[in-house]
Amino acid sequence: MSEVTVFVGGSVGSDPYSTRTWSGSSAYFLKALDGAGLLEKAVGIQVPKAIHYGLLAKNYTRDRAAWRKHFYFDPAYRNALTRAAAKVPVASPVLLQIGHMFSLPAAFPRHKCVSYHDGNLAELIASGFGLEHVAARRLDQAMRYEIETAQSMSAIFTFSEYLRQSFIHNYGVAPDRVFSVGGGINLDQVPEDNPSKSYTAPRLLFIGTEFARKGGPQLLAAFKAVREAIPAATLDIVGPARVDNLPAGATLHGHLSKADPAQRQRLGDLFRSASLFVLPSLYEPFGIAPLEAMLYRLPAVLTDAWALREFVTPGVSGELVQKGSADDLAEKLAVLLSDPARLAEMGRRARESVLERYTWPAVATRMATAVRSLA
């Protein structure tokens, strides 16, 4: 018998195998668990429609983003999700939930229950992003719910060591019950390696829909300075539908969906033609795009914070920059773009590091040790 039943529900989505659930990671994670012989089954849970609509009405506010947060953070919604989970028949000894939108320990007090996270509410609150107009009382309710749920888990798995430390210090979970197992890249196939990749063209690549949160304005300021030193430098921007005041040398490509073959091809071409990936986020709980870029032998310049600082070794596979500093960013971009030979070596190391730690089969292998000790 396989050891784990996986539950998804709430804000991450309720279809375990949908490409939209958990920002696209759910299906890849489940495939890796199955390949490792861990997965018994995966189930999605939903609140009954009458309760769902009643809670939507209860939490109504004109600001749609705040309305959504008030709804998801409502303890009544989370308790209803927990009751829905309790109705699922389970045979495996270990139950795993994505996030803390509900409580498997409350639904199945006699089972070993664990959770898996790419971020958490404490870090989101500290970031200052995404919680505009959400009532302090509702945030406090959600935080208390998540602390209680975290402390009742047999184990917590995280995408990063930074997040592991957050659960220890912000949630009061014992260090020996929190495991940093990493996260994976959401690709059906690893891009073919290209040892002869050229770095002579000074081309930067940025990917991020939320342009302001991802440090887009700071990048544009830095890029203007880079162009003064390297007039041939270019910047490709993928993600946002609109960016005002694009400087010379910058091109906006909008959103490119991997689900569309033509757009997927365009995105792959941008990865292959770039010399350096840049993501100077002002908040980034994890971040898949830099890891995908590194598979294409792109060194990455990332903010020196959160999980991003774990992706690269400065001077070896990329560089880290001070959060919000366009000057620091411009200086490091110009230095790297001026040294194609160094970029080639860094790109080789970048690809190796991702293949070693940030694939879903590697995650499942690390998770298996802890899960089987619990089972």
Q: How confident is the model over 314-333, as pLDDT tens digits?
A: 999 999 999 999 999 999 99
75-86 vs 49-58: helix axis angle to the nearest 10? Answer: 170
pLDDT digits (tens, 9 = 90+) for 3-16: 999 999 999 999 99
What percentage of residues in the chain have a pLDDT greater than 90? 95
What's the rounded mean pLDDT across residues 60-74? 96
User: Two tokens at 150?
Assistant: 């975290």
H/E element, 234:
strand 234-238
| 343 — pLDDT class (breaks 50, 70, 90) | very high
- Number of Cβ within a 10 Å radius of residue 156: 25
What's the rounded mean pLDDT across residues 351-364? 96
pLDDT above 80 (res 375):
no
Instruction: State residue 372's pLDDT score.
Output: 87
pLDDT digits (tens, 9 = 90+) for 140-195: 999 999 999 999 999 999 999 999 999 999 999 999 999 999 999 999 899 999 99
Query: What is residue 314's DSSP assignment?
Result: B
Q: Give SS3 for 54.
A: helix
Instruction: State residue 374's pLDDT score.
Output: 85
H/E element, 260:
none
Residue 184 amino acid letter = G
Instruction: State residue 351's pLDDT score.
Output: 98
Record: fold of 203-356 = Rossmann fold (3.40.50)
Residue 325 CA, chain-centre distance (Å), reads 23
Instruction: Supply the mean pLDDT for the chain.
Output: 96
Taking the C-alpha atoms of residue 126 and residue 139, their distance in angstroms, rounded to an integer, is 12
Instruction: State residue 258's pLDDT score.
Output: 87
Q: How is the chain split into domains, by residue range? A: 4-184+359-374, 203-356
Record: fold of 4-184+359-374 = Rossmann fold (3.40.50)
Instruction: State residue 289's pLDDT score.
Output: 96
- The order of strands in the sheet holding 250-254 is 250-254, 234-238, 203-207, 276-279, 300-303, 318-321
pLDDT above 90 (res 1):
no
What's the rounded mean pLDDT across residues 190-210? 97
Taking the C-alpha atoms of residue 193 and residue 265, their distance in angstroms, rounded to an integer, is 16
Topology alike, domains 4-184+359-374 and 203-356: yes
pLDDT above 70 (res 215):
yes
Taking the C-alpha atoms of residue 38 and residue 365, their distance in angstroms, rounded to an integer, is 10
pLDDT digits (tens, 9 = 90+) for 96-147: 999 999 999 999 999 999 999 999 999 999 999 999 999 999 999 999 999 9
pLDDT digits (tens, 9 = 90+) for 264-306: 999 999 999 999 999 999 999 999 999 999 999 999 999 999 9
Instruction: State residue 155's pLDDT score.
Output: 98
Instruction: State residue 170's pLDDT score.
Output: 98
